[in-house]
Amino acid sequence: MNPLSDALLTLRGIRAYQNFLRTSDRASAEEIRRKQSEWLGALLRHAHANVPWYSARFRAHGVRADGSDPFAELAKLPVLTKAEVRENHADFCVPGVAAKSMKLATSGTTGEPLVAYTSPDQWVIEQATVWRQWKWADYNFRDRIAIFRSYAPKPGEPSIRMDRLRNWAYFSVFKMDDASIAEYAKFLQRWKPRFLRGYPSSLLLVAQHALRHGWRLPGLKAAFAASEAVPPELRETLRAAFGIELFDHYGQAEITCMFHDCEKHEGMHVDWEYGFVELLPSSEPGLHRIIATNLHNTAMPLLRYDTGDLAVGGWEKCSCGRTAPLIRAIRGRKDDFLIAKDGSRMATVNLYTYFSKLGDLQRFQLSQSQAGELVVNFALWSADDLAKRSALSDKIRRELEETTGLSVRVPEQPEFVQTREGKFPAFIQRIGR
Ligand SMILES: [Zn+2]
């Protein structure tokens, strides 16, 4: 996207916030239902008339695009899988419109990315929901934000880049060794940001560095997470290092739904203005599948899309008083399971807690290429203490083999996988890809 249309859409997003989203998180249940019903009805009519996949599907399942209850009509459709979208991609796109829309690709270190198109209207609401969360965190226009995501300097470019219009500084997440973070720290202490924003894996490294080396950022108000699951120790580490809270964010490149965490940090509020979310029972007790329908994406409507992510518990209320419903947490991505030799699965989240308790660990990454096996890569802050490394390798191998029953390998030279955008997945499942 060119910078001018980017700025224009951002401005439209701010206006949508001012005119609507600023107060709609406290709308009554009836009001929410009424607005969603209006948007959903329009989307069904549009999908039926213009999207080849749905023209055929509506007929097959008896969906009436102009039915009086759009929710009931929507429920007649089966849940849509990522594989169906990938295999029939062209049929989901509105001919002639999708190609002119913004293009987003799902990331992933393995597997085929899925390309999704978004219409400007959906993008504007997305900007507005993000802006709203920033306001929840007491952001004021042009407050300084230090950003640790998506900046990948080319050879010869600096590791810190300024966006003076917005008052943002970008830091390369490809240079996160001790010496580079020390440079970042010097810059940050001079520049005095009000907020941090970035991949949880990068924010964790910055906060851990600050704790180890005793530097502070007194003017900081909060941190915003983006695009990755939050490791269990991140909130606590940010509090200890900078005395700030983390505001979590959930969304996907398929742009079907978003969730944001408010100043009470009791869970994730659904952005009901953006997507219609259903929680369906899953095979794991206490977890629900997050099934979502984007409400404004006329370029590539996805109806009842299975995000592959799971919600802990069901809909609840938050003590902040906002009516937008809340779920406790989003967890257990479908991919985040280890597969044992007999094919049984175990959630990796238990292992993340184990690693968060090992001292001196700078980072770790798990991967699995074969059932019954697990590869553990890790790096220590004291990288040249080989005796320490060897002792910890033995301990990890012994303890994880005992708890998981898997055969565990710890390479002597760690080899970490980082995505093109600089994300740093804690777990890479290569089986079945
Ligand atoms: Zn709340």
Cα(323) to ligand 1 centroid in Å equals 8
Q: What is the number of helices (H) and of strands (E) in the chain?
A: 13, 22
Cα(336) to ligand 1 centroid in Å equals 27
Six-digit token string for 182: 């020390």
Cα(428) to ligand 1 centroid in Å equals 32
> 391-403 burial string, b = 16+ CB within 10 Å, else e?
ebbeebbeebeee
- In single-letter form, the type of residue at position 38 comes to E
- Under DSSP, the state recorded for 19 is I
Pairing type for strands 373-380 and 407-409 reads: parallel
Cα(162) to ligand 1 centroid in Å equals 33
Cα(136) to ligand 1 centroid in Å equals 9
Rounded Cα–Cα distance for residues 158 and 32 (Å)? 47
Q: What is the pLDDT of residues 32-71, one digit of tens each?
A: 999 999 999 999 999 999 999 999 999 999 999 999 999 9
> Could you tell me the sign of the dihedral formed by the alpha carbons of 218, 220, 221, 223, in that order?
negative
| Confidence at residue 261, expressed as pLDDT on a 0 to 100 scale | 95
Cα(322) to ligand 1 centroid in Å equals 6
Rounded Cα–Cα distance for residues 298 and 309 (Å)? 24
What is the pTM for the complete model shown?
Answer: 0.85
Cα(321) to ligand 1 centroid in Å equals 7
Q: What is the pLDDT of residues 299-356, one digit of tens each?
A: 999 999 999 889 998 999 999 999 999 999 987 565 577 888 888 777 776 787 788 7
Q: What is the pLDDT of residues 217-226, one digit of tens each?
A: 999 999 999 8
Cα(267) to ligand 1 centroid in Å equals 7
CA dihedral angle for residue 66, residue 67, residue 69, residue 74, rounded to 10 degrees: -80
Q: Look at the block and give the residue holding tokens 């500084």.
A: 169
Cα(271) to ligand 1 centroid in Å equals 12
Rounded Cα–Cα distance for residues 111 and 345 (Å)? 20
Q: Where in the chain is the domain with CATH 3.40.50.12780?
A: 3-128+251-331
| Confidence at residue 112, expressed as pLDDT on a 0 to 100 scale | 55
Q: Where in the chain is the domain with CATH 3.30.300.30?
A: 337-429
Six-digit token string for 137: 């965190």
Q: What is the pLDDT of residues 134-159, one digit of tens each?
A: 999 999 989 999 999 878 888 899 99
| Confidence at residue 359, expressed as pLDDT on a 0 to 100 scale | 76
- Under DSSP, the state recorded for 18 is I
Cα(220) to ligand 1 centroid in Å equals 21
CATH number of 337-429: 3.30.300.30
> If you classify domain 3-128+251-331 with CATH, what class do you get?
alpha beta
Cα(260) to ligand 1 centroid in Å equals 9
CB neighbourhood size of 100 (10 A): 10
Cα(31) to ligand 1 centroid in Å equals 18
State the pLDDT confidence band at 126, using cuts at 50, 70 and 90. Answer: very high
